[in-house]
Amino acid sequence: MNTRFLLLDSCKEYVDSRIERITVAVNDLQLALENDTKSSAGDKYETGREMINLEFNKLSAQLQNFRKLKETLHRVENSSNSTTIQLGSVVKTTGANYFISIPAGELTCEDGKYYAIGANSPIAQILLGKAEADNFSFNGKTFIIKEVN
């Protein structure tokens, strides 16, 4: 199977698992809020509810971010192959291999390790628009682009 599709599937699994985990946590918080009844210790009750609300807001923001990543993956899926590096490109260099998509970290495929990185990351900003055999410098080191798919 094509490395790009394997990496894309791994990124989709990453995002879907995070969305599922956050959704479960949000539902648990909603249930906790519904089951929380006001006791005679009013301040304690208010503090507990406020902590639940803060956690709920934090999780809601995370959920929104992962949904945006899912939209980015949809754009990656619909992007066409190019000889220059763009969103959706699989890039092999003398230093490391990259999948320009979303920040999902290290992924392993049958042909090696890849780093799924977002297009706004520092290394992606350097790579975007470059092609096979181009040189680039990152963290004071120079690398060569071996392959772009």
Q: Which pLDDT belongs to residue 45?
A: 59
User: Rounded to an integer, what distance in angstroms lies between the CA atom of residue 40 and that of residue 59?
Assistant: 29
Q: Identify the structural domains of the chain with CATH numbers, from first to last.
A: 3-78 (1.20.58), 90-148 (no CATH)
Strand (E) or helix (H) holding 100: strand 97-101
Could you count the other beta carbons within 10 Å of the beta carbon of residue 109?
18
Pair 127, 147: CB distance under 8 Å: no
Provide the pLDDT for residue 49: 81
Q: Which of 1, 147, 10, 134 is nearest to 82 (CA)?
A: 147
The answer, yes or no, to whether residue 42 has pLDDT greater than 70, is no
The CA radius of gyration of the chain, in Å to the nearest whole number, is: 21
Which one-letter DSSP state was computed for residue 95?
A: S
Q: pTM value?
A: 0.87
Q: What band does 54 get if pLDDT is binned at 50, 70 and 90?
A: very high
37 pLDDT more than 90: no
Q: For 82-108, how does the pLDDT look when each residue is reduced to its tens digit (9 = 90+)? A: 899 999 999 999 999 999 999 999 999
Q: Which residue has better confidence, 87 or 110?
A: 87
Residue whose tokens read 């949809």: 74
What does the alpha-carbon distance between residue 81 and residue 42 come to, in Å, rounded to a whole number?
Answer: 61
